[in-house]
Structure 1
Amino acid sequence: MDYSIRTLRADEWEKNRELRLAALQDPVAHLAFLDTYDDAVARPDSFWQERTLGGSESGAGAVRQFVAEAADGRWVGTVSVLVERAGAETFFGDVPEVEQAHVVGVFVRDEARGSGVIDALFAAAVEWCWSLAEPEIARVRLIVHGENGRAQAAYRRLGFAETGVKIPLGDEGTYELEFAVLRPAAVG
């Protein structure tokens, strides 16, 4: 499959909306996303415009969204990264001890799975994290449902390891796991 990885542009809200809605229709969406298709499809255009601006190169800088674009212009995958500051409460309610980034919104269309798209998306996202001068990111994390074996296997293959943090969910015995990769040591 021929594709390129790039940062989302602020004017691409319609394509961003379409890809998110496709992600929310995936058979494991209930394990992978904090959103539902019904809620997302009902949101006004202004929501998608703001969301897209926030993750674009034109955004405030605390969020960056990457897309995999096929040669025909169709988006086949996406990943977003949220910068989380040390000592500040995150969207998820925890307070990191170090400057970190949080990978969210991971999705690759069925037809692109196994083609290297996820590897390229993660490489771009993690490289962006390490490139930040302020804050200097110490680690990149993600949270994955304990029953989402497909995602866990992909994250391990990409160099992420379980940290031992388990987040209980509302259902008894159901949980999410934190995975992370640490900033490489400087050479020289």
Structure 2
Amino acid sequence: MDQHSIRSVRAGEWRQVKELRIAALKDPAAPVAFLETVEKAESHPDAFWRGRADGASHGRTARQFVAEGPDGTWGGGVTVLVEDAGTVDIFGQGVEQGQGHLVGVFVREEWRGSGMAGALLAAAVEWVWSLEEPVLDRVRLFVHRDNPRAAASYRRFGFTASGRIVRLDSGAEEHEYLLRRPD
């Protein structure tokens, strides 16, 4: 991961947020890594991307982290959604306890195996652990059953399979992985 720095996105970086998301959705692994299609993402108006960058740049609801190279290019990213107890998650299911939910984990092909994914995960998890009132004790993410490479990466980071499986209308089967706050 030489020379990349990990940081949160800034409100005005909507074009870069859009470009990274489109690149992720064009990746050959996208069908088992993301719930959105490239066609859907490309159909969003600029206002959507502005709102996405702004919403993930500050506050407690969401935060997007990117790996930025010295030339300004983004090698990868991850977004954290904060799910409060008593709300409904992205799958339409009730959230029993407050938690961070990692989504949109992506590293460009040329940076895979470099440690970038681990650095992005570390930044996202550190941010979740830093939140107060209420403190969050766990972070979760979902992995498609046909994405063993991603599952192995998350296990190396310390995530464990919870046993919870979400079956989507498309037939996809998403497995939940959890990371608990260290004592």
Same fold (TM over 0.5): yes
Q: 1:71 to 1:93 in 2, by over 3 A?
A: same
| Alignment of 1:127 onto 2:126 | yes
Structure 1: give runs of 5+ residues left out of the alignment: none
| Alignment of 1:147 onto 2:146 | yes
Deviation at 1:171, TM superposition (A): 5.5
Total equivalences in the alignment: 182
Q: Distance in 2 between matches of 1:158 and 1:178?
A: 15
Q: Determine the structure 1 residue equivalent to 2:179.
A: 181
The code of the aligned residue for 1:107 comes to F
TM-score of the superposed pair, with normalisation by structure 1: 0.93
The code of the aligned residue for 2:37 comes to T
Q: String of CA shifts for 1:75-117, please: whole Å, max 9, x gaps.
A: 0000000011112222222222221110001000001111111
Structure 2: give runs of 5+ residues left out of the alignment: none
Q: Determine the structure 2 residue equivalent to 1:39.
A: 40
Q: What RMSD in Å do the two structures reach over aligned CA positions?
A: 1.2
**Fraction of identical pairs, as percent:** 52
Q: Distance in 1 between matches of 2:80 and 2:33?
A: 15
TM-score of the superposed pair, with normalisation by structure 2: 0.95
Question: The residue matched to 2:26 in structure 1 has which SS?
Answer: coil
Deviation at 1:61, TM superposition (A): 2.1
Q: Determine the structure 2 residue equivalent to 1:8.
A: 9
Q: Give the alignment of 1:33-182 within 5 angstroms.
A: 33-57=34-58, 60-170=59-169, 174-182=172-180
Deviation at 1:71, TM superposition (A): 1.4
Deviation at 1:51, TM superposition (A): 0.7
